[in-house]
Chain A
Amino acid sequence: MFDEKDVILDARHITKRFPASKGRQLTACNDVNLKFYKGKTLGLVGESGCGKTTFMRLLVSLDTPDEGEILYRGVDISKLKGEKLRQNRQNIQMVFQDPATCFNPKMKIRDILCEPLLNFDRIRKSEKSAKARELLEMVELPGDFEDRYMHNMSGGQRQRVGIARALALEPEIIVMDEATSALDVSVQKTIIELITRLQREKGITIGFICHDLGLIQSFSHQVAVMYLGNIVEVMPGEGIGEQCRHPYSQALLASVFDIRMDFTKKIESIESEIPSPLDMPKGCPFSDRCGKCMNVCKKERPLLKETAPGHEVACWLYE
């Protein structure tokens, strides 16, 4: 479905653990394998504690994986250090979740926008004002905002500045961590339209973390479903309504309240709680909550297998 030669970022066997109390370990990411394609959007869906934020932080080198590699154009960026690591940051940028906390409150907008450029000597200090205006116009904000501070801006305006900042270095890849969750739905729409327009114009690859299945479906080329640190399914973006195969993806879908849903259906919710990532069940991570659990599911963890072009599922039902 996607061309192999368009793979721009390849995460292989990524595992990240954190020490927890009493000598236990919290496995945030467990053997995660994901490919990002040039100019396409990959939506990462999962509930709290599934490890999606940890994974995204690994992609932007805010943390290093315990196992595995992250290949950007063939180079393992997870092993870079020092100046090489810093130089690589120009290739992959991040838009943060909470527009209220991701900006230094003491800096003016032009300082915020030009900081990345000054860090890499791409502009001179005298050019800050002009460059800031350019970036603001790109995200459909008035150029005059460059002289303002962030605290007078609305959530939607701030998020636009966040996007402008991420684009300042013209990276090939942008990672967005729930970048629209804190916004009103009408504002969210304008942000999504902006992002998709910029993607078309600049060929940017986007990784988008989200919990809203409807949103993910509306602008992702590919969707990956994550559960307890494992990728359980990867499929084409438009397929999320009909083509979910993994029991967890199906459960997620069944739990969604959507204005186009069948309102007469009874809510099927999984009665149990999401287990803590400290006590991951042996075998398939979903085994203790799955309605279709078989014996093999409890013993061995299923790996991602392709069931249709562009569609992979990690489930013994499809082996």
Chain B
Amino acid sequence: MGMKKHNFFMTHKVFCIFGILAILLILMAVFAPVVTGGVDPTTGNLRDALLPPGPEHIFGTDKMGRDIFARVIYGARVSLVAAFSVVGISFGIGSLLGVISGYFRGAVDAVIMRLADMMLSFPGLVLAMAVAGILGAAIHNAVLAVAVVTWPKYARLARSLVLKIRDRDYVAAAVTTGSKHGYMLVRYMLPNALPTLIITAATDIGSLMLELAALSFLGFGAVPPTPEWGLMLSEGRAYMQSAPWLMIFPGLAILVTVIIFNMLGDGLRDILDPRQEG
């Protein structure tokens, strides 16, 4: 048993290393109060504004005197939850609709695909602006906007993966032996599409996180006093020369997180590589 685990690690080093890092990241976000030693990221003392990194505030303070380290750590919560939400919603809705589209074809396919085409041609930024304008800027609205323009990608991918096997003999055989639609979707179509879809989702986490940060940076996402990395970059822009630490640390945080999840996605692809399957 130990040998098997050792072999798994050796052949899938990337996945294991970055998997561990990702878990650490998540744990750090979950246990933010412990990691930050109870410091409140949303309040600060104006007397302590714009302090450079030092023993009391290891990442320094921002213009409101808030501890940047605490804001970066709590910011992980916001970013991770938001990014996972977007991926979760897009993946969930997109895959389901795509599989249904590819399996039933005909009118169902036409409707779903036209909907997907419409959404695909809609620029995410514009939609986010519109949503922010109508419902007000908030991180969950940004999540909604990005999810709405991202699900078509999963739908098209799922559909093409289903179409690839739709006309195979073994699918016809399962139909002639009396399989019901639900059974076909769950036992035949989904398992064929799932590995590729999961890999796409994993590698998307990083880029969607960036998109959300960008929206917050522009003011269509998180609003103060929420500690969100993109927002922090925006708030720190004015002090880029005089107090660069306001941007450096949230910027580094984004960079590190995106790299970890991108590499995790790569590692996952190596494991789940659909080329190795039937």
User: Which residues of A line the B interface, CB within 8 A?
Assistant: 60-62, 86-87, 89-90, 93-94, 96-98, 101-106, 115-116, 119-120, 165, 168-169
B177/A104 in contact, CB under 8 A: no
Residues of chain B with a CB closer than 8 A to A60's CB: 176
Q: B214 to nearest A CB, angstroms? A: 41
> Which residues from A are CB-within-8-Å of B177?
89, 93, 115-116, 119, 165, 168-169
A86-B169 in contact (CB<8A): no
Closest to A97 in B: B169
Residue of chain A at shortest CB distance from B192 = A106
Q: Is B188's beta carbon under 8 Å from chain A? A: yes
Q: Please, how many angstroms separate the alpha-carbon atoms of A12 and B56 in the complex?
A: 91
A98 and B169 contact, Cβ closer than 8 Å, known pairs A104-B174, A106-B191, A106-B277: yes
Q: Are A101 and B168 in contact (CB under 8 A)?
A: yes
Asked whether B175 is an interface residue with its Cβ less than 8 Å from the other chain, the reply is yes
A55 to chain B, nearest CB (A): 15
Q: Are A115 and B191 in contact (CB under 8 A)?
A: no
Binary contact track B164-185/A, C-beta < 8 Å → 1, others 0: 0000111011111111100100
Please give the distance in Å from A70's CB to the nearest CB on chain B: 15
**CB neighbours of A169 from chain B (8 A):** 177-178
Q: Which residue of A lies closest to B183 (CB)?
A: A119
Contacts of B178 in A (CB 8 A): 86-87, 89-90, 116, 119-120, 169
Across the interface, name the chain A residue whose C-beta is closest to B179. Answer: A119
Once bound together, how far apart are the Cα atoms of A168 and B172, in whole Å?
16
Is the beta-carbon distance between B173 and A103 smaller than 8 angstroms? yes
23 interchain pairs (CB within 8 A)?
A60-B176, A61-B176, A62-B176, A90-B178, A96-B172, A96-B173, A98-B169, A101-B169, A101-B170, A102-B172, A105-B170, A105-B277, A105-B278, A115-B174, A116-B178, A119-B177, A119-B178, A119-B179, A119-B180, A119-B183, A165-B177, A169-B177, A169-B178
Q: Are A115 and B278 in contact (CB under 8 A)?
A: no
> Which B residues touch A168, using CB under 8 A?
177
Report chain B residues within 8 Å CB of A115. Answer: 174, 177, 179
Asked whether, in the complex, the Cβ of A106 is within 8 Å of the Cβ of B278, the reply is yes
**CA A94 to CA B170, docked complex, whole Å:** 11
For the complex, give the distance between the alpha carbons of A32 and B180 in Å. Answer: 30
Q: Which residue of A lies closest to B169 (CB)?
A: A102
Known: A115-B174, A165-B173. A86 touches B168 (CB 8 A): no
Taking CB as reference atom, which chain B residue is nearest A83? B180
A87 contacts which chain B residues (CB < 8 A)?
178
Which partner residue on chain A sits nearest B174 by CB separation? A115
Interface centre among A90, A104, A119 (most CB of B within 10 A): A104
Q: With A119-B178, A168-B177 given, can you name 17 additional A-B contacts, CB distance below 8 Å?
A: A62-B175, A62-B176, A86-B178, A89-B178, A94-B172, A96-B172, A101-B168, A101-B170, A102-B169, A102-B173, A103-B170, A105-B277, A106-B277, A116-B178, A119-B179, A119-B183, A165-B173
